[in-house]
Amino acid sequence: MEPKPIADPAPVEEPGPVVEPLPVVEPGPVVEPGPVVEPEPVVVPVPDPVVPVSPAPGEGGNELAQPDAAEQLHEEVEAELAAQAPEPAARPRRVEGPEWRGIVLVTGTDTDVGKTIVTAAIAAAAQAAGLRVAVIKPGQTGTVLGVPTDVEQVQRLAAPHTARTLATYPEPLAPLAAAKVAELPPLELYEVVDAIRAEAERHDLVLVEGAGGLLVPMGVRPSGEAWTFADLATTLGVSTVVVARAGLGTLNHTALTLEALARRGVPAGVVLGAWPADPELVHWANLSELVPHLVGALPDGAGGMEPGVFRRSAPGWLTPALHGVIDNWRTWADEVH
């Protein structure tokens, strides 16, 4: 597939609902990361353990293997979530708080964690709240004829006002490597920055989906050095959504990503890409650990929903920061599937 050069993007303008455009939040000041001398403390706090993760010496037996262990943890986590959040009002309500507007980057703890589906959900919720939304994928790799690109998936599920891919490369590699292999022009940092800022002039919310995880080489700077999605966040001075898995291994990957963002001064929130229909012990334990950072959690299967159902459901998967209605994780856990 031929790459789409940044100079000649082909924006997909959908005639979305006519809404009164809200003021576009100006992008924050440019924050270039300096050399990090003192690493920030680890971001993810370690709350009191909800349950013993391993049996205490002398207790013997593997408690986690017992079939009712997950159920017991579920109940204990629910009790903890109830203690962390206020009792729900009779009807869902929006919590007062700053909503994320302007430019928001969507990264993940890895590839295939659900960045595209989460981007679509945020776009759908924001549009339902009356915002004009643009979605940009700077570097789409691994393009296969007949398989929808990320932007095409977002277009189908959420139909934002604008959805653009800046460059496509056929090989399923990081964008810079894919550009080199195909001998195509790599993404240039400031051309990407300019394209994103141009959309921010015309939209209330611009969601930018990365490729793979935070530190994947995306393209080149004018100096010829590689730049990453973290560099894009600091250059734009904007907040970042970190999409994470719900299962085993996610705590380490999420903590690493949040720490990398925190040491660069980038505000971040976490969204679980796919919460299983039948959560196990590990999912409840991870949820309990990640709740302080959570700004959303999508049910597994969300990506396969009919678009109308997806759009109506999306606000129920996101907190008010992301234009949704979750104000109580216990209620969410009861209702998500």
Kindly state whether residue 250 participates in binding ligand ATP, applying the rule CB under 6 A.
no
Question: What number of CA atoms fall less than 13 Å from residue 296's CA on the CB side?
Answer: 36
**Sites for Mg ion among residues 63-122 (CB under 5 A):** 115-116
Footprint on residues 248-277 left by Mg ion (CB under 5 A): none
Cβ proximity to Mg ion: between 153 and 331 the closer is 153
Q: Which range of residues in 57-65, 110-118, 159-167, 175-183 is near ligand ATP by CB under 6 A?
A: 110-118
* C-alpha–C-alpha distance, residues 9 and 107, integer Å: 22
Nearest Cα neighbor of 134 from 158, 118, 99 is 158
Neighbours of 89 (CB within 10 A): 9
- Per-residue contact flags (x/-) with ligand ATP for residues 120 to 159, judged by CB under 6 A: ------------------------------x---------
Q: Which of 4, 115, 137, 180 is catalytic?
A: 137
Minimum gap (Å) between residue 183 Cβ and ligand ATP = 22
Q: Does 302 bind ligand ATP (CB under 6 A)?
A: yes
In the block, residue with structure tokens 């915002």? 131
Minimum Å distance from CB 262 to ligand ATP?
Answer: 21
| Helix or strand holding residue 278 (H, E) | none
| Residue 285: exposure state from Cβ atoms within 10 A (0-12, 13-18, ≥19) | buried
In contact, 234 and 221? CB cutoff 8 Å: no
Based on the residue annotation, tell me whether 137 is a catalytic residue of this protein: yes
105 binds ligand ATP (CB under 6 A): no
Using rule CB under 6 A, residue 194 touches ligand ATP: no
Q: Nearest to residue 205, comparing CAs of 273, 128, 301?
A: 128
184 belongs to the binding site for ligand ATP (CB under 6 A)? no
Nearer to Mg ion (CB atom), residue 139 or residue 279: 139
| Spatial distance between the Cα atoms of 200 and 26, rounded to a whole number of angstroms | 8
Of 125 and 302, CB closest to ligand ATP: 302
Strands 268-275 and 239-244 come out as parallel
Among 21, 47, 249, 301, binds ligand ATP (CB under 6 A): 301
| Shortest Cβ 300–ligand ATP spacing (Å) | 5
Interacting partner of 108 out of ligand ATP, Mg ion, none (Cβ under 5 to 8 A depending on kind): ligand ATP
By CB under 6 A, name the one of 160, 186, 303, 316 that touches ligand ATP: 303
Shortest Å, Cβ 261 to Mg ion: 19
169-174 long-range contacts (CB < 8 A, ≥24 apart) are 169/3, 169/139, 169/140, 169/141, 169/143, 170/1, 170/141, 170/142, 170/143, 171/141, 171/142, 172/141, 172/142, 173/141, 173/142, 174/141, 174/211, 174/212, 174/216, 174/217, 174/218
Q: Is 300 one of the binding residues for ligand ATP (CB under 6 A)?
A: yes
Burial 313-326 (b: 16+ CB within 10 A, else e): bbbbbbbbbbbbbb
**Least distance (Å) between residue 213 CB and ligand ATP:** 8
- Match 């015309």 to its residue by tokens: 202
Taking the complex as a whole, how short is the minimal distance between the CB of residue 172 and ligand ATP, in angstroms?
A: 8
> Which 138-157 positions form the footprint of Mg ion (CB under 5 A)?
150
| Backbone φ and ψ of 8, nearest 5° | -130, 60
The nearer residue to ligand ATP, 80 or 150, going by C-beta atoms, is: 150
- The tokens of 289 are what? 């650990």
Q: Which residues contact Mg ion by CB under 5 A?
A: 115-116, 150
Instruction: Give the active site residues.
Output: 137
Q: Which residues contact ligand ATP by CB under 6 A?
A: 108, 111-117, 150, 211-212, 273-274, 298, 300-304
